[in-house]
Amino acid sequence: MAAVFVSHCTAKVLRLLSKYPDLLLVEASSKVGGRVQQVEGIVPWPVQLGPEFVHGAKSSLKGLLQEINCSLRELEWPDYWYFGADRKLVSGSAKDEELERLHELFASVGKRPRPQPDISARDWLQQEGASERMLAVADACYANDFGCSLHQLGLSEMITENQRWDSGETYLILDRPLAAVVQHLHKAVEQSTQLGWPVSKIEHSSAGAKLYGPSGNAVECRHVIVTVPILMLQQERLRFSPPLPADKRGAISRVKMSNAMKVILAFSRPFWPADFFDVVCTDCFMPEFWVTEYPATCSDPATAGLCCITGFVAGAAAEEMSRLSQTTVVTRSLAQLDRIFGTAERRHPATAAFVRAHVEDWSRSRYIGGAYSYPSLGAWPGDRETLAAPVGDVLFFAGEATHPAVNPCMQAALETGERAAAQVLRASERTPSKL
């Protein structure tokens, strides 16, 4: 390739570079989108296996959603709580002194001095006098949403995230699966995409780079944008020659990504309140689950009229769940739903209405290996910027882990893709290709 090579790249990067005279995207897997994937045949619409909602009404994703004429519903998160120890389902707006105190602590964490050395969110909350109930809520709500467990959550990067997060706290629910955004963006460069081409090694110098793929194939290029998940770099699934600078290797080792699992359960009828969207559960198998519905796209009579619940589990709980069989995961998930929604007349509503399930374990995704980066215990201030820093005018880096605001969301991947694309265009003007 004479000009640009983009490895495992987000679709937004591709569109920004689509007018570049010589562009290639290589993707290790059989489809584009990274963690934006879906499964069909469960209910009458595709169910999202990765990102599903837009975090914050001010998200930078809104512009893209407007391009595809996507309508949005804005909802509070969470809108229900379930306290497992009390077997009690309550509205998210219910008055609760301990919940209010916990929310105040997380909302104001950015005003705290940065700890030296770093401490976990669990230790910080204990220092603040949090009760065991507050710790359980923090683990199920905040830590699980960050993609980890409370003891893995680092206060230093939490402070950075709190100071820089500006998208808002509500959720935006789309009128279609989020994969529609990826499909929209990929159209511009569909002909420049090579699927099933995992890169194992990148040789680089000031003159350019050579990338080694499957079966000994290689491609030469002037610029490379690398957007592989942080875990792939930590495991050296992608090697660099010469090695990356020491400070970048240090940042790679400190920014962490845990596992996440989605438990998708299809039912013949709903058994939850009509206004129900999402619930965070303490002392339960699934810390969070929600209900979404999209226009039907499947004509298979086997899915007609079905509805579904999606459970989300991250961190240590996901690692524990990963060791269980799918049958056990489904059985325990249904038992939790029966406890929450059961009545004297219908004690097992979930089990009675259950039709089929899909359990997605992201640790088993060959080229991803987990969920997304989180505010990592032991990470240094500036690690995300170091991850993002180019190596000369040849190697460039994007992806949610490189966002300086510690923003583990889809908008972070898109924003860092924009940044990397702009860096490549500037570099190409400084050093035009002679190939």
Q: Is 392 left (phi over 0), alpha (psi -120 to 50) or beta?
A: left
Dist. CA 241–CA 221, nearest whole Å: 15
Which one-letter DSSP state was computed for residue 43? S
> What's the pLDDT score for residue 17?
62
- Over residues 318-332, the pLDDT tens digits come to 999 999 999 999 999
Mean pLDDT of the chain: 92
Please say if the pLDDT value at position 432 is more than 70. Answer: no
End-to-end Cα separation, the chain, in angstroms: 8
Please say if the pLDDT value at position 235 is more than 70. Answer: yes
> What's the pLDDT score for residue 5?
40
| pTM, rounded to two decimals | 0.93
> What's the pLDDT score for residue 254?
98
For the chain, the C-alpha Rg in angstroms (whole number) is 22
Residue in 137, 150, 78, 149 with CA at minimum distance from that of residue 282: 137
Domain 4-30+195-256+377-430 class in CATH: alpha beta
Please say if the pLDDT value at position 382 is more than 80. Answer: yes
> What's the pLDDT score for residue 393?
96
The token pair that represents 431 in the structure block: 């050093």
Please say if the pLDDT value at position 192 is more than 90. Answer: no
Model confidence at 14, in pLDDT bands (50, 70, 90)?
Answer: low
Q: What is the mean pLDDT of residues 126-153?
A: 97
**Assigned fold of 38-54+257-364:** Polyamine Oxidase; Chain A, domain 2 (3.90.660)
Separation in Å, CA 353 to CA 41, 89, 267, 306, 358: 17, 20, 5, 10, 16
- Over residues 50-108, the pLDDT tens digits come to 999 999 889 988 888 988 999 999 998 899 999 999 899 999 888 999 999 999 999 99
> What's the pLDDT score for residue 346?
95
> What's the pLDDT score for residue 377?
98
Domain residue ranges of the chain, discontinuous segments joined by +: 4-30+195-256+377-430, 38-54+257-364, 80-164
**Residue 149: Cβ-neighbour burial (10 angstroms; 0-12, 13-18, 19+):** buried
> What's the pLDDT score for residue 13?
59
The residues pairing with 289 across neighbouring beta strands, listed in sequence order, are 279, 311
Dist. CA 337–CA 1, nearest whole Å: 54
Task: Determine the 3-state secondary structure of 154 from DSSP.
Answer: strand
Q: What is the mean pLDDT of residues 394-399?
A: 96
